[in-house]
Chain A
Amino acid sequence: MQVTLDSFALKSFTKSLNCLSRYGEELTIYATPETFSLSATNLSKSAYCRFKYEKQFFSKYVLNEQKSTGTEWGLDEAISVTGQMLIKPLLSILKHRTVEKTVEKCEMSIIEGNLRMEDGSPVEDNLVVRLYCKHGVVKTHRLLLLTPTSLMAPGVPDAYNESNLTIGPKAVKDMIEHFPLARGVKSDPQLIWSFGESEVELRSLESSIDSKGKAQLITELTISAEEFDVYNVYASPTTIAFHLREFNATIAFAESMSLSLNIRFTDPSAPLFIDVEGDSLEALFVISTSQVHGAVTGAPSQYYQPLANKKRERDETPVDQNRVKKPTKVAQRINKLESLPQSTQVVRPTPVVQRTESDMTMPPPSFIPPAILPHNPFQEPLFWPSSSQLSAANGVAFQGTGLGLEYMDADELANMLEGEGEEVAYDFSAMVVLPVNPHRSYVRRANFRVLSKSEPTCTTT
C-alpha cells in the first residue's frame, strides 16, 4: 500500500492522529481501494474513534492488487490492508515543529513482510513514512507494523428511539469550560446531560477517580436548546452521562477543523455516537454512557435490567441520587485474526445491521470479520448496562499495579479484594504504586471502609 499526502492534507491527517492518540494508544489502519481508515479504542473499550478518508483525500493512493484474496468471498471491496501500531511514535514524527513548517509532501507505504521465518511466523510489516521537505531534504522513518490481534467494531444504534443533535464545537466547548477539571492524568470527570423540551441541563458528577479537591464543587449549567443547530430528542427529558476525556478530544478535533458535531444517542444505557464530516473525511466517535440512577427518563430504557444480585454496589453514598454506573464498552473484541486462515486479512465490509426507520446511514464499522457476524443483532445488543466493565482511568490505575487487574472485570476484582471475607468499600483512587523494589511492585490499598459491623481494617499487601 502506498499513499501520498500533500502538506495541506497532512495537517488534517495529523489533527486526526492527535485526536486518535487521546482515545487510545494503538492505531489500527484499515485500507480498502476506496477508503483509508484509522481507528483507536481506549484501554477500557469505553470509547472508540475512527477516521475514514476517501481516496480523493490523498494525492496518490495505491493498494497492492496482487494481495487480493477476497474474491473467494465474492465481494467487490475485498482488497484491503490492515495494520496496527502505536500512535505516539507516528504522531511525534508528523507533529514535529520543523516537519510542520517545511514538509512538502508525505509518503506512507506499508511494506508487507510476505516472507515467513523458519518457525512459520511471519516477518513483521513495516510502515515507512517518507517526508519530502524543502531544500530537497527527505526524511524516512520506518515503523513496526503489527497484525491486529483483535478487531474492534462499534455497535450500531437502534433507529427508532434515536435522538440527534447538531452543535458547533465552539458552542459545546463554551459549555464544558464552565466545568472545572481536576488536575492530573487520572482524573476523568463525567458530565450528566439532561436533554429537555426546550432546555439542556449539564451537571458535573464526581467519579471515584477525582482528586479530593474537586468533590468540593458541584456545577450545573442550563442552556437553551436553541444553542443546538438541530435538536431532535426522541423523548424528553433524556438523561445520559459520559466521561469527558474522549469527548473533549472530539471537540478539539472538530474545532481545529471547523466542523460541527452530529450527536446521536438512544437511551441512557446505549453509547453516544458523534459524527463529524468534512471534505473526503468521515469521523465517527463512540463513547459509552453511564446510567444515572434516579434520573427521569422519558422513554423506557430498552436495555435496562434491574441489577438485584449485583455484589458491589457503591453503598457508601446512599444519599447520592445521581449514582452512575460504570460505563459500558463501545467496542467489542471480535475475534483473533490467528483463528482465521491467512486470507482473512481481508474482511467483509458489510454493515452489521440493516437500519429500519432511519434515513441516516450508519457508516460501516471498519472491521467485521466474516466468521462471526452476529446472527441477530437485535436480540444481542453489544452493550449491556451492567457495570462489569471499568472506566478508563481505573484501567490505567490497575495497569500500574502489575496484578493483572486490568484484565479482570468488576466481579473478579471484587472477589479478589474480598479475599478476607469482609465486604468493604474500595476506593480506586487510593491505590498507589510504590516503585520501591525494582523486582516487585507493591500495591498499597488504603481507605478500606468496612460496611459490616466488624472494625475497620487497613491492609497493605
Chain B
Amino acid sequence: MRFRASIENVPTFFKIMQSIEKLQKKCIIKFTETNMHIICNNDANEGGIQVWSQIKVDSLFVGYRIQSNAANEITMALSSEALLAALKSASPSTSSTYETEEVVMKLAKKNGQAVLTLEINSLTRVGRKVRVSHDVKIEVMRPNDVARLSEPLCPEPDLHILLPPLQKLRTIVERLRPMSDILAVRANNSGCLQLSINTEGVKVDTEWKNCTNPKTQNAEDEDEAPDPEKMFSVLVSIRSFLKFLNSHVVSTTTIACICQNHCMILYVYIGDVADAGGVLTFYIPAIIDDENL
C-alpha cells in the first residue's frame, strides 16, 4: 500500500476539512486513482446528516501516486480535527507566517501505527528553511468494511433549486435556531424558496424569490408539466441544516433537492460548477411530522 501526493491547493483542502470537522469528530477518507472521497456517515451524529463527497485529485494534488491491493484504493478513518490542525499549519492563509514551499502528504507507519504524514517545507521570515511534519493517526479500513459503506438511497427528487449564498442563509437560520428545533424548507419550480419555523409561540417565514431552478438531465421525460407554483416541502432538524451551512467557507454554488417527506439533498460545489473540482453531497433526513399525516 503506497500513497504519496503533494497538496497543491492547501487552502481549499483546509476549507473542506473545516466544514467536515464541524460535522463529525471522525471521518472516512477514501483515495482512489482519480478522486478523494470524504465520507461522514455516522448514524450517531445528531439529526442523521451525512456527507458523501467527491473531489477530483487534480483539483487538490499534484504528483499523486497511489497503489494498493484493493484496486488501488485506500480507505482510512481519521480524526477530522487532527487533519484540520495539520492543514492549518500548512495553510498560508492562516496565522502562520512561514512561506510554505511544498506540502507532501503520504502514508507511513511509525512505531507500528499507520499515520498520514504531512510534510511541510517552508521558509521563515528571513528565508531559512523550516521543516514541519504532522503525523495524523489513521485506521486503514479493510476492503470488507469499505464495501459495506453505502450512500443513502433516495427517490428521484421532487425539486431542484439553487440556493442563495450560504453565508446569507446562515445568518437567518442562526436567528431561527433558538426558536425552533425543526426547520421547514419549501420551494417551487418558479424560483421561490422559503425557510420557515412554526411553533406554539412563533411562526417565521423567510422567502427568497428569483432563485434559479436548474434543468435536470431527464427534464424531457417529464411529459406532464408540473405546476411551477406548487410548493414542495421538507422538515429537517435545524441543527443539521446549520451544520450543512458550515460549508459556506468552501461553497460556490449549492443546489438543493427536496424529496418530499423523505430527505433533503444538498450539492455543494467546490470551484465552478462547469469544471467543478468536486462536490460535497449532504443528506439531511426529513423529520416526519405525524400531525400532518
Bound together, the chains give a CA A320 to CA B110 distance in angstroms of: 11
Question: Residue A427 at the B interface, CB < 8 A?
Answer: no
Q: Which residues of A contact B125 (CB under 8 A)?
A: 170-171, 174
Contact A216 B96 (CB under 8 A): no
Closest to B98 in A: A174
Instruction: Say whether B132 contacts A221, CB under 8 Å.
Output: yes
- Known contacts being A177-B95, A180-B89, is A217 close to B133, with CB within 8 Å? no
8 Å CB contacts to B: which residues of A212-251? 213-224, 226-227
Across the interface, which residues of B come within 8 angstroms of A216, CB to CB?
A: 78-79, 81-82, 136-137
Contact partner of B130 (CB less than 8 A), chosen from A180, A217, A221, is: A221
User: Which residue from A177, A214, A217, A227 sits with its C-beta under 8 Å from B135?
Assistant: A217
Give Cα A217–Cα B84 distance, bound, in whole angstroms. 10
Sample of 8 A–B contacts (CB below 8 Å): A174-B125, A177-B97, A214-B81, A216-B81, A220-B132, A221-B130, A221-B133, A224-B130
Tell me which residues across on chain B come within 8 A of A319, comparing CB atoms: 111-112
List A residues 137-179 near B (Cβ within 8 Å).
Answer: 170-171, 174-175, 177-178
The listed residue (A217, A222, A223) touching B85 by CB distance below 8 A is A217
B126: chain A residues at CB < 8 Å are: 227
CB distance from A125 to the nearest CB of B (A): 44
* Residues of chain A with a CB closer than 8 A to B124's CB: 171, 174, 223, 227
**Further 6 A-B residue pairs, CB within 8 A, beyond A217-B136, A223-B128:** A174-B97, A174-B124, A174-B125, A215-B137, A216-B82, A219-B135
CA distance A223 to B126 in the complex (A): 12
User: Which residues on A sit within 8 Å (CB–CB) of B97?
Assistant: 170, 174, 177
Question: Cβ of B79 and Cβ of A213 under 8 Å apart?
Answer: yes
**Interface size (A, Cβ < 8 Å)?**
22
Q: Quick check: A218 and B134 within 8 Å, CB to CB?
A: yes
| A227 and B131 alpha carbons, distance in the complex (Å) | 13
Distance between A389 CB and nearest chain B CB, rounded to angstroms: 29
B113-148 interface bits toward A, Cβ cutoff 8 Å, 1 = contact, 0 = none: 001000010001110111111111100000000000
CB contact under 8 A between A177 and B134, given known A216-B78, A217-B79: no
Pair A219/B78 contact, Cβ less than 8 Å: no
Complex alpha-carbon distance, A223 and B136, angstroms: 21
Q: Which residues of A contact B115 (CB under 8 A)?
A: 218
Choose among A214, A221, A227 the residue with the greatest number of B CB atoms under 10 Å from its CB: A221
Q: Which residue of B lies closest to A223 (CB)?
A: B130
Contact of B82 among A170, A177, A217, A223 (CB under 8 A): A217
Report which B residues bind A (CB closer than 8 A). Answer: 25, 78-79, 81-82, 85-86, 88-89, 95-98, 110-112, 115, 120, 124-126, 128-137
How far, in whole Å, are A319 and B110 apart by their CA atoms in the complex? 11
Contacts of B111 in A (CB 8 A): 319
A177 contact set on B, CB distance < 8 A: 89, 95-97
Evaluate contact between B81 and A219: CB separation under 8 angstroms: no
Point out residues on A near B: beta carbons under 8 Å: 170-171, 174-175, 177-178, 180, 213-224, 226-227, 319
Is the CB–CB distance between A221 and B128 below 8 Å? no
CB neighbours (8 Å) of B128 from chain A are 223-224, 226-227
Q: Is the CB of B134 within 8 A of A217?
A: yes
- Measured CA separation A216–B25 after assembly (Å): 11
Which residues of chain A are near B136, meaning CB under 8 Å?
Answer: 216-217
CB-nearest residue of chain B to A168: B125
> Whole-angstrom distance between the alpha carbons of A90 and B129 in the complex?
44
Cβ contact within 8 Å between A178 and B129: no
**Which residues of the partner chain A approach B130 to less than 8 Å between Cβ atoms?**
175, 221-224
Query: Which 3 A-B residue pairings sit nearest by Cβ, starting from the closest?
Result: A180-B85, A216-B82, A216-B79
In the bound complex, how far is the Cα of B162 from the Cα of A210, in angstroms? 43
Q: Distance (Å) between the CB of B95 and the closest chain A CB?
A: 6
- In the complex, are the beta carbons of A224 and B129 less than 8 A apart? yes
A426 CB → nearest B CB, Å? 23
Q: How far is the CA of A2 from the CA of B133 in the complex (A)?
A: 53
Given A219-B134, A223-B124, residue A178 in contact with residue B96 (CB < 8 A): yes
A residues less than 8 Å from B98 (CB atoms): 174
Q: Are B78 and A178 interface neighbours, CB within 8 A? A: no
How far apart are B102's CB and chain A's nearest CB, in angstroms? 15
| A142 nearest CB across to chain B (Å) | 41
Task: Determine the distance from Cα of A171 to Cα of B111 in the docked complex, in whole angstroms.
Answer: 31
Q: Which residues of B contact A219 (CB under 8 A)?
A: 86, 89, 132-135
Contacting residues, chain A, for B95 (C-beta < 8 A): 177
Q: What is the distance, in angstroms, from A189's C-beta to the closest C-beta of chain B?
A: 12
> Shortest beta-carbon distance, A82 to chain B, in Å?
41
CB of B265, distance to nearest CB on chain A (Å): 30
* Set of chain A residues within 8 Å of B137, measured between Cβ atoms: 215-218
Query: How far is B85's CA from A224's CA once the two chains are assembled, in angstroms?
Result: 23
> Contact between B132 and A178 (Cβ–Cβ < 8 Å)?
yes
Q: What is the distance, in angstroms, from A188's C-beta to the closest C-beta of chain B?
A: 17
Looking at the assembled complex, report how far the CB atom of B103 sits from the nearest CB atom of chain A, in whole angstroms.
12
| Closest-CB distance, B64 to chain A (whole angstroms) | 23
In the bound complex, CA of A216 to CA of B21 (Å): 14
Q: Which residues of B contact A220 (CB under 8 A)?
A: 131-135
The smallest C-beta distance from B14 to any residue of chain A, in angstroms, reads 13
Residues of B within 8 A of A224 (CB): 128-130
Q: Whole-angstrom distance between the alpha carbons of A351 and B230 in the complex?
A: 87
B120 — nearest CB in chain A belongs to which residue? Answer: A178
Q: Which residue of A lies closest to B85 (CB)?
A: A180
Cβ of A171 to closest chain B Cβ, rounded Å = 7
Residue of B nearest to A202 (CB): B132
From residue A381, how far is it (CB to closest CB) to chain B in Å? 34
Given contacts A174-B125, A216-B81, A221 and B131 within 8 Å (CB-CB): yes
Residues of B within 8 Å of A217, CB to CB, are 79, 82, 85-86, 134-137
Quote the shortest CB–CB distance from B140 to chain A (angstroms): 15
Report B120 CB to chain A, min CB distance, Å. 8
Q: Which residues of A sit under 8 angstroms from B82, Cβ to Cβ?
A: 213-214, 216-217
Name the residue in B78, B115, B120, B131 with the highest tally of chain A Cβ atoms < 10 Å from its Cβ.
Answer: B131
Closest A residue to B115 using CB positions: A218
A25 CA / B232 CA spacing, docked (Å): 59
Given the complex, which residues of B lie within 8 Å of A180, measured CB to CB?
85-86, 88-89
